[in-house]
A and B are shown apart, each in its own frame.
Chain A
Amino acid sequence: MKDQRFLPFQVPLIAAIALIVLLPLAPVASAWITSFNYIGLFALVALGLVLLIGSANMLSFGQAAFVGLGAYTTALATTLAGLSPWIGLVLGWLVTGIAAYLVGLVTRRLSGHYLAIATMAVGMAIYFAFANLEILGKNDGLNALPHLSIFGFSFEKSERMYYVIWGAVALAALGVRNLLSSRVGRAMRSLALGDTMPEAHGIDTARLKVLTFVLAALLASTSGWLYAHLQRAVSPIPFGLTHGTEYVFMTVLGGAMSVWGAILGAGLFVLLDDVLRNLLPRLIGGDAHYELVALGVMLIIILQRARDGLWPFLARQITEYRLAEAPAQAPALPVRPKPAHGEQVLDVRGLQKRFGGLVAVNDVSFDIKAGEIVALIGPNGAGKSTTFDLITSVQSLSAGDVSFRGASITNLPSRTVFSRGIGRTFQHANLLPNMSVLENVALGAHLRGDPHMIGNVLASASRLNRQEEDKLLHEAARQLERVGLKDNLYMAAGNLALGQQRLAEIARALSGDPILLLLDEPAAGLRYFEKTALSSLLRQLRSEGMSILLVEHDMEFLMELADRVIVMDFGSLIASGTPEQVQSDPAVRRAYLGD
């Protein structure tokens, strides 16, 4: 989501909205109304694809089939069963939701390709069902659908449907925008980096993917319902793979990263399609479908040259991301009770990781007590980061046992490990570059919000979750201030210096209210005074009872900070003790300096 206040493009934007509102009042040809009705219908579907393509890095070519499910369900319900169109809408949501849930369910743990392929295949199956089922009228479809009406007010005329359609678009755009700038939306956007980082912050990525996919399908279904009652007839053609691809095309054309991009894309598409269908055959001659070729070529060029679509060109001046803002004051989030000083927090026994014949971590055992800073050092390739991954279940361990506060956490999902109170940073900073620093950090507080996903989606879309959002964002801002980034809250995380990105990751981990903090090279890329500040922050955390395990190459930084040092070499633990003991250990000297 890109947004900012007082942007230069706000004037044309307001003009565009005014145009949309006033169009039916002006004496324009009815063809205009028809075109704008289609733009609205397409925009609804494209908004769903903003959730999928632009946020969660998911891809669907089956949206047209979901539009079809919405349209055919209401057609059946109203013509065959004589039900009200409004019941048709709900039934359409139900049918589409179930279909999308099923597809999401079988692809949720697989890589992104499988969802894309599944939507193509399932889209085909649905399309052929429309075209071949007797009850659905085969290729002729169903007709004589009733028009919409509410309390006796009829929407029979297409100028009136126009307002229903654009009302739906406005609601959906607002809802999507609100959702994406809230807790669940941030989690959806974090899926763009893959599953590892979100899972390590307590996010159930599999569930979230299903949810995102279902939401996008429901928007498509709504569009289908509107389409069916606008046309008063349905037939299979608009619900095939070609149209499924057109929805992807318009979303990518306009810019999948923002709701405005989706609406812009739908508008441009209708315009383009019109031009291509009328103009190209006249220019080239013949009656063939050149528009298919032209659309394909354009899609390829956009993907090669301007992958984020056209909207970012219009809104280029963005330097700040203020979609979510931290309030000056907010009630504090509940904090988990800290263990007593000196109590054993982490106990690692016989940790082992094999990659085929290679033993990356071999029989490593150590423990960490509450309020203790332990440094894990060793030459490159010693297995330090792998040890981190094993403790946090980012990788599964081959043998051994990890317990945290007396309970085994061996091979639990990494989101569960996080929820027990182990926060971490990554060796390679893992922030969403197009999201504000504040929102990136708020991701760490994901589990401190309302765990009910569906209720949360509704609350987020309608902004009823303002209080919770305030608490989470305030907490994120507080942690950012602690790590010294209070002036960078609304900067795109990608614009932070590398050292600052590491600090932001620490703030993100702290937002989760951890008991044990695993830091992978936190001081790398920091300047001298930044290192001093980090050092005093870590001391302060220790004095608050937090335990810290850190991997670091800056010995000066480490030796005056750490209570205890553990040394690894070639996957094995070769020494441990106080900094002084380790520094004089012959095995350690050998590992670092050679014989």
Chain B
Amino acid sequence: MNPTVALLLAQDGIATGAIYALLAMALVLVFAVTKIPFIPIGEFVVYTALTLVVIQANQVPRTVWLLIAAGCIAFITDIVAFVRERDRAASGGIAPLWLSAAQNLLLPAVIAAIVTMLSQQPRIMPVDMLMAVLIVVPLAPIIYRLAYQPLVSANPLVLFMVSIAVHFVMVGLGLNLFGPDGDRAEPYADWQLELSGQIVRGQVVMVLVAAVVLMVILYLFFARTVPGKALRAVAVNRIGAQLVGIGTATSGKLAITLACLIAALCGLLISPGVTLNYLSGELIGLKGFVAAVLGGFVSYPLAVAGAFVVGLLESYTSFWASALKEVIVFSMIIPILLLRTFASRSDMGEH
């Protein structure tokens, strides 16, 4: 391997690492607030990327219909819960139902209308991207409502099983929505830089810039805004937060929606660079998990560090031993867990 190749591989590794870092942060966020290991995060990356591909082909993506259908089911679930509720006055009377209708029926309808209208018009790329995000991200609170909300106080391992079930539902649906073949979006940055003789691809620059900007925005969100502070409060002490009026369901929905927004942006960022199919989310999401483990699902900086290690390792092994790339990357979990054990002697007994 000569230095040029090494640097090119490093570039690739850092770019993929940045994506895993964003995903790992999203996973830490969801876990801290809800104790849910959010395995389906990879599907949100893939759904967004493949939805973008369809939009760019001037078609109405089938994810729109999924959003409408899922919204209807969520609304019906809310109605059933309302009918069964004994003390309706205490849970806010009929007001939550109106809110549910707005969120689960109106919003998907509006999004569907906009997407259908715009699909035949000439558009610029950012509009396409915005549309893809608008279609996919509202699925997140619906999934929380349907799969997780009935289980807020469940054993953590039950949440794990539900997560993997949601993952497979989304993979199965993904096959129906996008077909078996992989695809990639149009490039948004087909320029390159020259830095002291080294060629840096525009794609890599964009990914890094976007990752840094996103991290700063996340930091500001948690440090400065009321919802951000509320999420932090839940993460520190769920019961305490509940006592001061921060609901478990509300914070859970918010956390998962935020995480899926991050995942959707990751989907946009990688869509021109990698060919993705309905199955790709599994590997992407799991690597985010491997990275998050290094931070013990509590530390954002360590999760980010873990992500870059995973990204670089993946990049270099694809050069040295491409057939065994995934074997090596996933085997990383063993030394990472070993480090984790040493780092958290006090973790013992916490279930």
Contact = CB atoms under 8 A, between A and B. Distances in A.
A296 B172 CA distance: 9
Contact of B326 (A109, A125, A291, A292): A125
Interface stretch (A13-21, A241-249, A376-384, A581-589): A241-249
A388 interface: no
A401 B341 CA distance: 27
Nearest to B339: A106
B206 interface: no
Residue among B150, B164, B167, B345 with most chain A CB within 10 A: B164
B205 interface: no
A466 interface: no
Interface string A48-68: 000001000111010000000
Contact of B340 (A114, A116, A121, A293): A114
A110 B347 contact: yes
A69 interface: no
A304 interface: yes
Nearest to A124: B330
B161 A303 contact: yes
Contact of B324 (A112, A132, A195, A241): A132
Interface in B168-221: 168-169, 171-173, 175-176
B347 A109 contact: yes
Given A132-B323, A288-B176, A289-B172, A117 B165 contact: no
A121 B330 contact: yes
A102 interface: yes
B157 A117 contact: no
A241 B282 contact: yes
A286 interface: yes
A128 interface: yes
Interface string A276-308: 000000000010111111011101100110010
Contact of A248 (B161, B175, B327, B328): B161
Interface in B263-303: 282-283, 286, 289-290, 293, 297
Interface string B324-341: 101110111110011011
A107 B158 CA distance: 19
A6 B156 CA distance: 36
B166 interface: yes
Given A57-B351, A288-B176, A245 B326 contact: no
A120 interface: yes
B165 A286 contact: no
A118 interface: yes
B225 interface: no
B168 A57 contact: no
A57 B156 CA distance: 10
The secondary structure that dominates the A interface is: helix
Residue among A117, A199, A292 with most chain B CB within 10 A: A117
A128 B349 contact: no
Given A106-B337, A109-B348, A128-B327, A120 B289 contact: yes
Interface residues of A, number: 52
The secondary structure that dominates the B interface is: helix
B326 A299 contact: no
Interface string B143-173: 0001100110011111011101111110111
A118 B337 contact: yes
A480 B329 CA distance: 54
A252 interface: yes
B350 interface: yes
Contacts of A120: 286, 289
A30 interface: no
Interface string A183-206: 000000000001110010000000
B156 to A, nearest CB: 6
B333 A303 contact: no
Given A106-B338, A107-B337, A116-B157, A290 B349 contact: no
A300 B166 contact: yes
A575 interface: no
A566 B296 CA distance: 42
Given A106-B334, A128-B327, A121 B289 contact: yes
A207 interface: no
Q: How large is the interface on B (under 10, 10 to 19, 20 to 34, 35 or more residues)?
A: 35 or more
Contact of B37 (A102, A116, A307): A116
Contacts of B330: 121-122, 124-125, 128
A194 B157 CA distance: 13
B147 to A, nearest CB: 5
A195 B349 contact: yes
Contact of B157 (A112, A286, A304): A112
Contacts of A195: 348-349, 351
Given A114-B340, A117-B289, A303 B165 contact: yes
A286 B179 CA distance: 11
A116 B333 CA distance: 12
Contacts of B286: 120-121, 124
A116 B39 CA distance: 11
Contact of A113 (B160, B172, B349): B160
B2 interface: no
A97 to B, nearest CB: 16
Nearest to A292: B172
A299 B289 contact: no
Given A102-B334, A289-B172, A194 B161 contact: no
Contacts of B328: 125
Nearest to B171: A292
Interface string A294-329: 011101100110010000000000000000000000
A53 B330 CA distance: 24
B344 interface: yes
A33 to B, nearest CB: 29
A212 to B, nearest CB: 14
Interface string A92-134: 0000000000110011011111101110111011001100110
A113 B168 contact: no
B286 to A, nearest CB: 6
B65 to A, nearest CB: 14
A128 B324 contact: yes
Contacts of B37: 113, 116-117
A133 B345 CA distance: 37
Contacts of A196: 349
B337 A245 contact: no
Interface of B: 37, 146-147, 150-151, 154-158, 160-162, 164-169, 171-173, 175-176, 282-283, 286, 289-290, 293, 297, 323-324, 326-328, 330-334, 337-338, 340-341, 344-345, 347-351
7 contacts: A57-B157, A109-B347, A110-B341, A114-B337, A118-B337, A194-B351, A303-B161
Given A242-B168, A307-B154, 9 more contacts: A109-B345, A111-B351, A117-B37, A117-B289, A118-B333, A118-B337, A120-B289, A124-B330, A129-B327
